[in-house]
Amino acid sequence: MLFVTRRSFATFFAAALLCFIARAQAGQLTAQPEKSALVIVDAQIGVLSTVWDSARIIRNIESLVAKARAKHVPVFWVQHQDDDELKLGSKSWKLDPHFKPTANEVVIHKRFNSSFAETDLGSRLKLLGIKRIVLAGAATNWCIRSTAYATLDRGYDLTLVSDAHSTESLNTSDGTVVPAKLIVADLNTVMQWISAPGVKTEVKPTAEIRF
């Protein structure tokens, strides 16, 4: 009986292996997507009201949130506060009216550029087993840039949504004005080509984001 069982197992294993090879050759096997989270940074009235092409950014963030919710992907809303323009509880501090986190979506409160600095974002991501962060929001050259680098430093893969982050034009000390459009393009380019150990980065428009 034992001999028959072993022979039957060997036959089954060989058949399964041949089936696997055939499916692989036919392109029917696809890798399981890594577990992702959508992180929306500073989508607040006092931030988005002043950035370049704000209406388009808001529409694209709405689209990303809808995609994430449809796939039951965790959505994190990061909300900045300070003692100046974004005082806790003020109108400018509140999320833009287009955005209403659901009961199971987490709102992270921060006081620094990086969404990870002195917040529990990292521990929450780890608890959920997140491997990839899809990043959008504002402002490109401050909190988005800082959060992007912090994401990679902490070992997460990063997808920067190229048309879902923005900022204001920058006035330098010598009087030069750097257009917001160029600041956005700069970060998109950097994140497309940056290298970091053990992680991967990609820059995609909203229409190409998949969860």
pLDDT tens digit sequence for 177-204:
999 999 999 999 999 999 999 999 999 9
pLDDT at residue 29, rounded to an integer: 45
Per residue in 12-55, pLDDT (tens digit) is: 444 554 554 455 455 444 455 689 999 999 999 999 999 999 99
**Percent of the chain surpassing pLDDT 70:** 84
What's the rounded mean pLDDT across residues 136-146?
98
pLDDT at residue 25, rounded to an integer: 55
Average pLDDT of the chain, as a whole number: 90
pLDDT at residue 109, rounded to an integer: 98
The owner of tokens 């950035």 is 51
Kindly state which CATH superfamily the domain 33-208 is placed in.
Answer: Isochorismatase-like (3.40.50.850)
**Percent of the chain surpassing pLDDT 90:** 84
Residue ranges with strand state E in 92-156: 106-110, 132-138
pLDDT at residue 2, rounded to an integer: 44
Listed in sequence order, the residues at least 6 apart from 150 whose beta carbon sits closer than 8 Å to its beta carbon are 114, 115, 116, 117
The owner of tokens 């330098």 is 172
Alpha-helical (H) ranges within 72-144 are 121-128
Listed in sequence order, the residues at least 6 apart from 206 whose beta carbon sits closer than 8 Å to its beta carbon are 60, 63, 64, 161, 163, 164
Q: Where are the domains of the chain?
A: 1-30, 33-208
Listed in sequence order, the residues at least 6 apart from 72 whose beta carbon sits closer than 8 Å to its beta carbon are none
Alpha-helical (H) ranges within 71-170 are 121-128, 145-153
Give the bridge partners for 107, in sequence order. 77
Per residue in 90-107, pLDDT (tens digit) is: 999 999 999 999 999 999
pLDDT at residue 34, rounded to an integer: 87
Nearest by Cα to 132 from 66, 89, 46, 68:
68
Contact 133, 35 (CB under 8 A): no
Helix pair angle (145-153, 180-193), 10° resolution: 10
Q: Which amino acid is at 32?
A: Q
pLDDT at residue 46, rounded to an integer: 98
Q: Which amino acid is at 170?
A: L
